[in-house]
Amino acid sequence: MRIDAIILRELNLPLLRPFETSFGVTRGRRIILAEVQSEGLTGWGECTAGERPFFSAEFTDSAWAVITQELGPMLAAESPQHGGDCQRIFRAVRGNRMAKATLENAIWDLEAQREGVPLCQLLGGVRETIPCGVSLGIQSSIPELLAIIERELAAGYQRIKLKCKPGWDVEVFEQVRSRWPGIMLSCDANSAYRLRDADHLTAFDVFDLLMIEQPLWHDDFYFHAMLQKRLRTPICLDESIRNRRDALAAIEMESCRIINIKLGRVGGFSEAIAVHNAALQRGIPVWCGGMLESGIGRAHNIALSTLENFSLPGDVSASARYWAEDIVEPEITVSSAGEIAVSPAPGRGYEVRTGLVERLTVRKQTIRAMEMVG
């Protein structure tokens, strides 16, 4: 595929409600979109980096710099045949996986359109619907949280995930469990605890949680393995898993029993499939995480979630939970059975509302092939 143009945009999208985790509050997103034009087709990619380097070292401005200065020019100078060629094209750049995923995922979208197949089919997906859960941020009071859970369960969501941290954990789980003893419930600490909290974390076991996500350091396997030996509740790793090798190490060390796969965190579809396959072969279930994406990232998450081993409900939910207006058409909806029906249309399966994208754009840059000097 000849790359005719790469247009990078930053969009400012206010969230309908603030989203609070153990590392901070997000009120609106600064989202980078890549539009890659090739031979009359347009592929789109979304960068999942946060506004500040809290979830990971990458953030909106670092990703913008890496894409405009390095990755964009590298890609523009090549003619990739497949999304899977991007890892080789970008190999000189260390890390910066969310920046890489922004472009790689746009190439997968283009490839699916060129082949005239839905993206999920190109990825090897097997599901026509995906099971959905919600991730609920830290609230200012437990009654407020209970009201939100009631609404999400009524909407059909199959699993409730509660963001937690010291001071917003056991008491919260107690009240949720006493009201809803049988629901699929999990929690996500985003690294809010230390190994000295192990006794406190064992107290979570009575709540029959599906998993506790990333309780310890963002870059750790060893201490998670020590903690997992003491917990009945399965540990799920999110931040720690950057690639297939990390997944193999974590599984081998028994640092976790479940893996959360995020396209941006692992660097794009190729590596996400590799993590998925490694976990599948070793009997470790996976699910698709979310990063408060707009419709483009969400469409990519849906396609990924169709792979066989995505057997647990993910954090991929309806557009209307986040945005007054999503930038794709139709917007993403969830059925009363808590499922998203996978679009059969070629490529990402959702049209981009280019007029709305243009109105929300706060910076824009066209990237050209790298000058070959010397």
- Alpha carbon separation from 280 to 223, 308, 315 (Å, rounded): 24, 8, 19
Residues in the chain: 374
**Does residue 323 touch ligand OSB according to CB under 6 A?**
no
User: Is 229 annotated as catalytic?
Assistant: no
Residue among 58, 188, 271, 293 that touches Mg ion (CB under 5 A): 188
Check residue 197 and report its DSSP letter: G
**Does residue 58 touch ligand OSB according to CB under 6 A?**
no
Residue among 111, 152, 169, 238 that touches Mg ion (CB under 5 A): 238
Residues 6+ apart with CB under 8 A from 328: 294, 295, 296, 298, 299, 319, 350, 351, 352, 353
| Among Mg ion, ligand OSB, none, partner that 109 touches (CB below 5 to 8 angstroms by kind) | none
Check residue 369 and report its DSSP letter: P
| Given the residues 100, 161, 165, 262, the one annotated as active site | 262
Secondary structure class of 301 (helix, strand, coil): helix
Q: With CB under 6 A, what is the number of residues at the site for ligand OSB? A: 10
CB 11 within 8 A of CB 353: no
**Does residue 158 touch ligand OSB according to CB under 6 A?**
no
Residue among 44, 55, 64, 204 that touches ligand OSB (CB under 6 A): 55
**Does residue 10 touch Mg ion according to CB under 5 A?**
no
**Does residue 315 touch Mg ion according to CB under 5 A?**
no
Buried residues in 352-372 as b, exposed as e (16+ CB within 10 A): bbeeebeebeeeeeebeeeee
User: Is 262 annotated as catalytic?
Assistant: yes
Rounded to whole angstroms, the Cα distance separating 144 from 296 reads 30
Tell me the residue number closest to ligand OSB, measured at CB.
290
**Does residue 338 touch ligand OSB according to CB under 6 A?**
no
For the annotated catalytic residues, the residue numbers are: 163, 262
Q: Which residues form the interface with ligand OSB (CB under 6 A)?
A: 55, 135, 188, 190, 238, 289-292, 315
Q: Which residues form the interface with Mg ion (CB under 5 A)?
A: 188, 213, 238
